[in-house]
């Protein structure tokens, strides 16, 4: 009588991968939708009501303009995962593993610097100097209000003043929230934190890949060629 062979343990289900964080510019998307509506209305009107070569010229212009509007407004996005950063810019898609990221720079534009010295701009996270100034003014007002509240409480010498000095009063709540930051600066802070946490991970290694967006360049180039031909013939 043979003994039953020991059964191998059932494979453990792999842990589900976390979804990428997606960052996009809401004002750019709104502006792109508005531009597409205007361009589409004018183009369709020219195609329907135009005479001679006007409808063909309108179609060629639409073929040129629509991909460019989509590329610069609706297309840009940044996908931040546990292992890599995927940057979808108007004409390129760049995938940078966290192990290849040297730093994330914020000045007049937000950029990713790689270990090889390459630099890629984050079109989906534009820098707004106006938003930075607004955040700085809010920070100054919050700091001034906190100081005035703490001064009043300390002058009273009450228990409320002691709580405010420990950060439990009105001034303490404002200070505990941290400095006021512009939206894009907060996004860059999140990306820097993710980079610091994952840049030494084994799964975050690899090479930087760059792919051109031929789905955008192809129609735009074709539209430009058609416009030039129609203008030259006309």
pLDDT digits (tens, 9 = 90+) for 176-213: 455 666 688 889 999 999 999 999 999 999 999 999 99
Low-confidence ranges of the chain (pLDDT < 50): 1, 8, 10-16, 131, 135, 158-176
**pLDDT of 153:** 57
DSSP string, 114-183: ETTS-EEE-TTS---HHHHHHHHHHHHHHHHHHHHHHHHHHHHTSHHHHHHHTT-SHHHHHHHT-----H
**pLDDT of 148:** 63
**pLDDT of 143:** 64
**pLDDT of 133:** 57
Torsion-angle region of 157 (φ positive above 0: left; ψ -120 to 50: alpha; else: beta)? left
């Amino acid at each position: 009588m043979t003994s039953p062979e020991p059964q191998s343990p059932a494979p453990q289900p792999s842990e589900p991968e976390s979804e990428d964080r997606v960052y996009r510019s809401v004002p750019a998307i709104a502006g792109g939708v508005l531009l597409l509506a205007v361009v589409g209305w004018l183009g369709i009107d020219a195609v329907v009501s135009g005479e001679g070569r006007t409808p063909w010229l309108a179609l060629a212009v639409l073929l040129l303009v629509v991909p460019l509007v989509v590329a610069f407004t609706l297309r840009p996005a940044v996908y931040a995962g546990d292992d890599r950063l995927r940057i979808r810019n108007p004409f390129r898609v760049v995938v940078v593993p966290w192990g290849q990221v040297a730093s994330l720079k914020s000045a007049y534009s937000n950029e990713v610097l790689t270990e090889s010295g390459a630099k890629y701009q984050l079109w989906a996270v534009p820098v707004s100097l106006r938003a930075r100034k607004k955040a700085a003014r809010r920070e100054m007002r919050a700091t001034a209000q906190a100081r005035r509240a703490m001064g009043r409480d300390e002058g009273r010498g009450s228990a409320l003043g002691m709580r405010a000095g420990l950060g439990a009063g009105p001034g303490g709540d404002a200070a505990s929230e941290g400095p006021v930051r512009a939206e894009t600066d907060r996004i860059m802070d999140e990306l820097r934190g993710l980079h610091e946490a994952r840049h030494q991970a084994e799964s975050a290694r690899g090479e930087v890949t760059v792919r051109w967006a031929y789905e955008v360049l192809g129609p735009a180039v074709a539209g430009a060629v058609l416009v030039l031909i129609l203008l030259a013939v006309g």
